[in-house]
Amino acid sequence: MKLLYLLLLSFAAQAQVPLAGRPAASFMPAGYEELDGGRATGDLNRDGRPDLALVVGAKNEAQDTTEAGPPPRRLLVLLAVPGGGYRLAAASSQAVLCRGCGGVYGDPFAGIDIQKGVLTLDHYGGSNWRWNITGKFRWQQDGFYLIGRTHQQSWIVGDECPGPAGFRAGDELLDENLLTGAFEARRVSRDCQVLENRKGRRTVRPLQALAAYKPAPSASHGANHPPSLRRNQRFSRTSVCPALRAGRMLTASVMAMMARAMKKISAACIFTGYQLMTDVLMPIGRTWK
Q: Under a CB-based contact definition with an 8 Å cutoff, are residues 131 and 120 in contact? A: no
CA distances from 196 to 97, 165, 172, 174, 204 (A): 28, 15, 9, 10, 22
- Which band of pLDDT confidence, cut at 50, 70 and 90, is reported for residue 175? very high
pLDDT score recorded for residue 255: 54
Domain count, the chain: 1
Q: What is the DSSP string of 90-105?
A: EEESSSS--GGGGGGG
For residue 133, which of 92, 170, 100, 102 has the smallest C-alpha distance?
Answer: 102
Does the pTM of the predicted model rise above 0.95? no
| 208: pLDDT strictly greater than 70 | yes
On whether residue 93 sits in a domain, the answer given is yes
253 in any annotated domain? no
Mean pLDDT of the 106-131 span = 94
Quick check: is 117 in a domain?
Answer: yes
With respect to residue 231, please indicate whether it lies within any of the assigned structural domains: yes
Q: Identify the pLDDT of residue 137.
A: 98
Look up the domain containing 25 and give its range.
2-240
Q: pLDDT value at position 220?
A: 41
Residue 263 within any structural domain of the chain = no
Average pLDDT for residues 99-126, to the nearest whole number?
Answer: 94
Residue 260 lies in a domain: no
Does 14 reside within a domain? yes
Per mean pLDDT, which range of 71-75, 144-148, 215-219, 276-280 is the poorest?
A: 276-280
- The answer to whether the beta carbons of residues 145 and 137 sit under 8 Å apart is yes
- The stretch 207-216 carries a mean pLDDT of 94
- Which of 25-34, 84-93, 141-150, 241-250 has the lowest average pLDDT? 241-250
Is 282 part of any domain?
Answer: no
CA angle 107, 113, 114 (to 5 degrees): 160
Identify the residue with better confidence: 249 or 126: 126
232 vs 212: CA distance, rounded Å: 17
